[in-house]
Homo-oligomer: A and B are copies of this chain.
Amino acid sequence: MESDIFEIISVGNELLTGKTLNTNAHWLAKMITELGGFVKRCTVVRDDVDDISSSIKESIKRGVNWLIVSGGLGPTYDDKTLQGVAKALNRELIIDDDALKMVEKKYEHIIAHGVLKKAELTPARVKMATLPKGSKALPNPIGTAPGVLIDEGDIKIVCLPGVPVEMEAIFKESIMPMIMKSIRKFYHEKSIHIIGIMESDLAPLIEKALANNPLVYIKSHPKGRGEGLSKIEIQVTAMADESSTAKKRVEDALEQLKSMIIEHGGMMDKEIMG
């Protein structure tokens, strides 16, 4: 059994001018991995209908189970994600009744709190409820723009706002339970920090540990400035149908690797639980 394959698409010029660090993709990747999903690729595109549309078509063509798109759902002219999705899927954009009710309710709430005196459904507000045909609107417990879920054949396409707290809230409330239902794999990871051995001398030891433990993944991350005694983090990960199996695979590989490292003059610095 394989894990579900996920791709993440982040939309926003600010991510490609270096103004904003892409913490959304990082948060999503971490959540999805911990839930047992496999994030195969992340793409960052500009607020451009053609770029958004082509990146979605490319993901679908590569083969995914889930496509998570974040950013570009707001009321301004440069929030173009749903136009891009509609174009990629060849669907009309229509005012969605559920989404419109969600947006109206938000403004009623704001008026009730005396922040605004009136709040007509201006074109900018109706825009947030204009979704590709066949979409399901997902409630936004924090902001105004609803999230969007689209079934495209067997692929689930999820659109979330770019504001981190809103993205996280919709993901946790509406998407996480769906992923947990379809989950088929458990993920475990553990890292150790070592000193006293160079990464190039560590390389053949890792290869040996992998040959003995073919179901884990081992990666070394040099932490220092590349000189002799710098610190290296070694991360061991595994996926399995049972949580205990994934854990055992990681522990077994790590024990073997540790013995070999000590044999070759290396030392453990500290252990970090994944």
Contact = CB atoms under 8 A, between A and B. Distances in A.
Interface of A: 13-23, 25-34, 39-47, 51, 55, 58, 74-78, 106, 110, 113, 115-116, 122-125, 127-128, 140, 142-144, 163, 165-166, 189, 198-204, 206-207, 210, 217-222, 225-229, 235, 237
Given A144-B226, A200-B75, A18 B13 contact: no
Contacts of A122: 200-201, 203-204
A55 B44 CA distance: 13
Contacts of A14: 219, 221, 235
Contacts of A222: 74, 143, 163
B33 A17 contact: yes
Contact of A45 (B41, B74, B110, B128): B41
Given A13-B219, A78-B219, A225-B165, A200 B235 contact: no
A17 B30 contact: yes
Secondary structure of the A contact surface, majority rule = mixed
A210 B47 CA distance: 15
Contacts of A51: 40-41
B21 A21 contact: yes
Nearest to A114: B228
Nearest to A228: B115
A246 B182 CA distance: 51
A28 B225 CA distance: 20
20 contacts: A13-B217, A13-B219, A14-B221, A15-B42, A16-B42, A18-B31, A18-B32, A20-B26, A21-B26, A40-B51, A75-B199, A75-B200, A75-B203, A76-B202, A77-B206, A77-B210, A110-B227, A115-B228, A122-B204, A123-B204
What copy number does this chain have within its complex?
2
Contacts of A189: 17, 19
Nearest to A225: B142
Contacts of A13: 217, 219
A13 B237 CA distance: 11
Contacts of A20: 26, 221
A26 B31 contact: no
Nearest to A32: B18
Contacts of A219: 13-14, 47, 76, 78
Contacts of A163: 222, 226
Given A16-B33, A41-B43, A74-B220, 6 more contacts: A13-B217, A15-B29, A17-B30, A110-B227, A122-B204, A163-B226
A165 B230 CA distance: 14
